[in-house]
Amino acid sequence: MPEFLSLLPPSEALDRWLSYLPAAGPVRTEVLPAQAALGRILAAHATAPEPLPAFPRSTVDGYAVRAADTYGAGPSLPAYLTLAGEVPMGRAPEIRLGKAQAALVHTGGMLPEGADAVVMVEDTQAVRADEVEILRPMAVGQNVIPIGEDVQAGQIVLQAGQRVRPQEIGGMMALGIRQVTVAARPRVTILSTGDEVIPPDATPSPGQVRDVNSYTLAALVEASGGEPATQGILPDRYEALLAAAREAHADSDVVLITAGSSVSARDLTARVIGQLGPPGVVVHGVAIKPGKPTILAVCGNIPVVGLPGNPVSALVIARVFVVPLLRRLLGQTGTPAEPSVRARLTANLASEAGREDYQPVRLTGGPGRQAEPIYGRSNLIFTLSRADGLVRVPPEATGLPAGTEVDVLLF
Amino acid sequence: MPEFLSLLPPSEALDRWLSYLPAAGPVRTEVLPAQAALGRILAAHATAPEPLPAFPRSTVDGYAVRAADTYGAGPSLPAYLTLAGEVPMGRAPEIRLGKAQAALVHTGGMLPEGADAVVMVEDTQAVRADEVEILRPMAVGQNVIPIGEDVQAGQIVLQAGQRVRPQEIGGMMALGIRQVTVAARPRVTILSTGDEVIPPDATPSPGQVRDVNSYTLAALVEASGGEPATQGILPDRYEALLAAAREAHADSDVVLITAGSSVSARDLTARVIGQLGPPGVVVHGVAIKPGKPTILAVCGNIPVVGLPGNPVSALVIARVFVVPLLRRLLGQTGTPAEPSVRARLTANLASEAGREDYQPVRLTGGPGRQAEPIYGRSNLIFTLSRADGLVRVPPEATGLPAGTEVDVLLF
């Protein structure tokens, strides 16, 4: 228990690490067609070149009128208006509404000049071909979207740092914004180390295991907006690892090194990272389970992470530290709002005071969901495959009793 | 209010619609390299060709021992074991442990024959080069991952219908599974209709608006696992729309038609859909806001949706009906667990009994978040751009008071 009290809690470790980086913002930007920007982070504000809508539109099927001509109208005393014509969809009306006149208009159609409200067809009665009875009084602007109700010309409609969702693409299309400047995906190079690690397409001899971390980390980086590159498997030897780390450091925005899991292999990783440039290692060990031996470094403005070699630890640590790092390198702003679901624990979770635990859980049941802990050592990748998400046990808690309502952070 | 009581609530409308489709399952399958399958839905089970781990592994740095040799050991009465050598990482140990022998082993290393436990180095003391003192008794299996603890040979490790996350890719790599059969992305053709609608790269004349729905729907389809195709903008004329709809129907797995927003344009869509094959329209109108005039159809086994023309309605309806449809056409199983966050409403939400409302909200604050309703007519696409998610007001509620804790469905 006391060992964790000398280590930084994850949130402090993250803040400390990020404080050594240059100011938040995209590492590079690129210009994309607007409809290809789904999921990307905007690198510049966008302003509306024109108002939306650009003309007053009817929100109903009915008759465009001058509201004043309908004052006092009711079912027993209709207002009689002369029908001046029909507004065709997609064209400016040629009609100019005079006193006591009305024009047939469809939902989304443009109001003719002189009109300031639209009466729903249900509130009218057609009496003769050229006359319509209005059965209720209209207020100015009723059933009309005025020019600029959605956005005004010159208004900032998209913020730098915002993620592009389907509606942002729609908004850009509505305004004729065809190109957009987004943050380039940070290049993340992943080095896997370990004398026992072999490529997945090789057949392991006794004592050997296939590389898992290069692939899980690459997938998480990709899903989090980065551009992963793997650089093969390195032996637990100082010179070889240093050469590979220098190469990765020279042309990446982030370097991830999964250490071997023995103490000597972890020390080797820390020594290599220490050679990549100042300030070097800024956090060595975090009060977290799994993932205590995590190394957080900044080497010449490039963040470098030494991740634990166990697959479960590596993936949890990447989620806790690498995902927020990528947000920062993308210049992403706004509430992170990590996707989660509420569920009730089916069993007690034990934890040590001062340590933040991430417990894999499986969700069961429909609404009123339950979170069932999946136990398994952090060497066992299928522990995470059986789980739907993680429950965080905060450092100040010494566990959570069964029945506690928790947020399950979804994978 | 009574008008909604004659319409189906969204969940019943969805069930009814889906009941006309063939049994759930992927429309087609394809084979991908395992590491390219991130986010895809598995179309077949996968079994472990070998156990994981394939050899007994140490979970600590220490000494492999025969547990029986350590019984009764303690700090004041250590067990003295002869050092038989070191197990190199990545190779089968050549040592065979005899009685009262120990072998140096690293985390992740293979246990030598004869060993059945590992003593942590912290619980030992090196006395001479060829002897080690064991300071505590070991149980059989302690600090050892036995063969098959993660998965047994022949065990199903991945289920058909499961979404591939980073950990599934890692699991496949660990087992040497290099290829995987996944559901092909359903082809979703999107038709936008409306005499007033022009392509986004054109400059609108008065009365014209740029196409939004083709792009928002394409983006949502893409994000939900489908393969969107847009087929241009069609005029509100029966023959032209029918010809385009027949073409789309012939080579798509799903057809989405955004109707013009006037009553006559919506009737046109329904008439066209009615010509595409039996059973045709199975739901016309849903007790939902926005999106009441939704049309759900199945035409010769192909689902066809008539979506409202208003951009906000179209996107909400796509989320409520098209996303679950795609799950089914992908054969996706398991709890949907829609990403959401808990927040407290900052204002009362009004609703009508019998109608399910989807209210756009913006999230503010950190933990203990608040959900602030974003009001705007469903013609206004930037209403959704200002929002972080939707709050569902269930049909049985007549609104939700300010302060209610709600789940915000994230976009």
Q: Which residue of chain A has the CA closest to B367? A: A337
Question: Which residues, listed in sequence order, are joined to residue A104 by a DSSP beta bridge?
Answer: A63, A86
Report the amino acid identity of residue B113: E
SS3 B327: helix
How many residues are given for chain A?
411
Q: How far apart are CA B174 and CA A312, in angstroms?
A: 13
Residues B309 and B352 in one domain: no
Whether residue B136 lies inside any domain: the answer is yes
Q: How far apart are CA B136 and CA B120, in angstroms?
A: 10
What digits encode the pLDDT tens for the residues A278-305? 999 999 999 999 999 999 999 999 999 9
Residues B177 and B66 in one domain: no
Q: Which residue of chain B has the CA closest to A217? A: B166
Token look-up 């995987």 returns B180
Residues A70 and A207 in one domain: no
| Cβ contact B218:A38 at 8 Å | no
Whether residue A129 lies inside any domain: the answer is yes
To the nearest whole Å, the CA of B35 is away from the closest chain A CA by: 7
CB–CB contact B383 A171 (8 Å): no
Opening angle at CA A34, ends A29 and A37, nearest 5: 60
CB–CB contact B385 A158 (8 Å): yes
* A116 in B contact zone (CB under 8 Å): no
Residues A178 and A245 in one domain: no
Whether residue A335 lies inside any domain: the answer is no
* B216 in A contact zone (CB under 8 Å): yes
Query: What's B179's domain CATH number?
Result: 3.90.105.10
Residues B298 and B208 in one domain: yes
CB–CB contact B340 A340 (8 Å): yes
Residues B8 and B75 in one domain: no
What does the longest C-alpha to C-alpha distance in chain A come to? 96
CB–CB contact B206 A110 (8 Å): yes
Residues A256 and A322 in one domain: yes
Whether residue A334 lies inside any domain: the answer is no
Residues A203 and A307 in one domain: yes
Sign of CA dihedral B120, B122, B123, B126: positive
- Each residue's pLDDT, cut to its tens digit, for chain B (411 residues) gives 345 568 999 999 999 999 999 988 999 999 999 999 999 999 999 999 999 999 999 999 999 999 999 999 999 999 999 999 999 999 999 999 999 999 999 999 999 999 999 999 999 998 888 999 999 999 999 999 999 999 999 999 999 999 999 999 999 999 999 999 999 999 999 999 999 999 999 999 999 999 999 999 999 999 999 999 998 899 999 999 999 999 999 999 999 999 876 788 888 999 999 999 999 999 999 999 999 999 999 999 999 999 999 999 999 999 999 999 999 999 999 766 677 788 999 999 999 888 999 999 999 886 678 999 999 888 899 999 999 999 999 988 889 999 999 989 888
Query: What's B102's domain CATH number?
Result: 2.170.190.11
Whether residue A284 lies inside any domain: the answer is yes
Domain boundary among A298, A329, A360: A329
Total domains present in chain B: 4
- Token digits of residue A383: 């522990």
Domain boundary among A310, A329, A348: A329
Q: How far apart are CA A8 and CA A13, in angstroms?
A: 6
Query: Which chain A residues are closer than 8 Å to B107 by Cβ?
Result: 260-263, 309
Residues B194 and B269 in one domain: yes
Alpha-carbon distances of A63 from A58, A77, B29, B157, rounded to whole Å: 9, 18, 53, 64
* B68 in A contact zone (CB under 8 Å): no
Whether residue B40 lies inside any domain: the answer is yes
Please give the residue range of the domain that contains residue A73: 57-145
| Cβ contact B393:B351 at 8 Å | yes
CB atoms within 10 A of CB A214: 26
Backbone phi and psi for residue B360, each to the nearest 5 degrees, phi listed first: -65, 135
Q: Which residue of chain A has the CA closest to B144? A: A377
SS3 B15: helix
Q: Three-class SS string for chain A?
A: CHHHHCCECHHHHHHHHHCCCCCCCCCCEEEEEHHHCCCCEECCCEECCCCECCCCEECCCEEEECHHHHCCCECCECEEEEEEEECCCCCCCCCECCCCEEEEECCCCECCECCCEEEEHHHEEEEECCEEEECCCCCCCCCEECCCCCECCCCEEECCCCECCHHHHHHHHHHCCCEEEEECCCEEEEEEECCCEECCCCCCCCCCEECCHHHHHHHHHHHCCCEEEEEEEECCCHHHHHHHHHHHHHCCCEEEEECCCCHHHHHHHHHHHHCCCCEEEEEECECEECCCCCEEEEECCEEEEEECCCHHHHHHHHHHHHHHHHHHHCCCCCCCCCCEEEEEECCCEECCCCCEEEEEEEEECCCCCEEEECCCCCCCHHHHHCCCEEEEECCCCCEECCCCEEEEEEC
Whether residue B334 lies inside any domain: the answer is no
Residues A201 and A270 in one domain: yes
Please give the pLDDT value at position A368: 78
CB–CB contact B61 A174 (8 Å): no
CB–CB contact B170 A209 (8 Å): no
Report the amino acid identity of residue A243: A
Residues of chain A with pLDDT under 70: 1-5, 261, 335-337, 366-367
Residues A125 and A208 in one domain: no
* Of the partner residues A35, A107, A261, the one whose CB lies closest to the CB of residue B261: A107
* Of the partner residues A61, A196, A379, the one whose CB lies closest to the CB of residue B89: A196
Please give the pLDDT value at position A266: 83
Please give the pLDDT value at position A226: 98
pLDDT over 70, % of chain A? 97
CB–CB contact B340 A341 (8 Å): yes
Whether residue B99 lies inside any domain: the answer is yes
Query: What's B365's domain CATH number?
Result: 2.40.340.10
Query: What's B23's domain CATH number?
Result: 3.40.980.10
Interface contacts A/B by beta carbons within 8 Å: 322
* A227 in B contact zone (CB under 8 Å): no
* B2 in A contact zone (CB under 8 Å): no
Domain boundary among B289, B306, B329: B329
Alpha-carbon distances of A328 from A143, A183, A224, A253, A307, rounded to whole Å: 44, 11, 11, 12, 19
Sign of CA dihedral A159, A164, A170, A172: positive
Residues B89 and B123 in one domain: yes
